[in-house]
Amino acid sequence: MATRTFENLFYDQLKDMYDAEKRITKALPKMVRSAHSEDLSSALQEHLEQTEGQIERLDQIFDQLGQSPGRKTCQAIVGLLAEGESLMEEAGDALLGDAAIIAAAQKVEHYEIASYGTLREWARLLGRDDVAETLQETLDEEGEADKTLSRLAGSLNPQAAESSNGEEEDEMEGGEEPTVSSREPRPSSASASRSRSSTSTSPARSRKH
């Protein structure tokens, strides 16, 4: 390994992110469909489109560097996506599901922010300010996506916390609508049919197939 150069390391990390972004575009549609909040769903949809642009941007970077695009399995993203998927499956109801989706998505964004921040710095060190600038564009998008998710967490998570407290503490309040049903369901058949099944053990997405 002594023959490896800093430039090799840089290419490896570019390929790692190329693989990561491709895996993220495969995972996001499921999160878009599973999200109960329409705002969350459309934010994720928007980021899916951005992610497709980020893959094109990586193609452009490989081109700028005179290298052919390649993938190197990003074990971190494989792990984060698998973990996010179990988190969503275990969530049970719509509000907790959205909290789980936000948590999973923010972990991915933070990983991407760390990776692109490093890549941008490395590009500068390698004297490629042109590539650093292209990487900065993606870094800005990841940062915006993270901020959007924080904003959504700020409005959605208190409802998730409240509805779980209600279930544990006031089981006797039979006459009142459960908090979960007071949320506007998305006008899709999937969310309509699962909106009240807090006792159902089947994950929401199992209906989609």
The one segment of 10-18, 21-29, 39-47, 134-142 that binds Zn ion by CB under 5 A: 10-18
Whole-angstrom Cα distance, residue 81 to residue 65?
Answer: 30
Describe the crossing of helices 38-64 and 94-125 by its angle, rounded to 10 degrees.
Answer: 20
Looking at residue 199, what DSSP letter applies? T
- How far is it between the farthest Cα atoms of the chain? 72
Nearest distance in Å: CB 111, Fe ion: 8
- 27 lies in the site for Zn ion, by CB under 5 A: no
Q: CB-based burial of residue 3 (10 Å sphere; 0-12 exposed, 13-18 middle, 19+ buried)?
A: exposed
x/- contact string, 102-121, with Fe ion (CB under 5 A)?
A: ----------x---------
Q: What are phi and psi of 207, to 5 degrees?
A: -80, -15
- 91 lies in the site for Zn ion, by CB under 5 A: no
- 20 lies in the site for Zn ion, by CB under 5 A: yes
Among 65, 76, 113, 190, the residue binding Fe ion under the rule CB under 5 A is: 76
Binding partner selected for residue 54 from Fe ion, Zn ion, none, CB under the kind-specific 5 to 8 Å limit: Fe ion
| CA R_g for the chain | 20
Among 19, 85, 93, 142, the residue binding Fe ion under the rule CB under 5 A is: 142
Whole-angstrom Cα distance, residue 209 to residue 202?
Answer: 13
Name the residues that contact Zn ion, by CB under 5 A. Answer: 16, 20, 74, 76
Name the residues that contact Fe ion, by CB under 5 A. Answer: 16, 51, 54, 74, 76, 112, 142
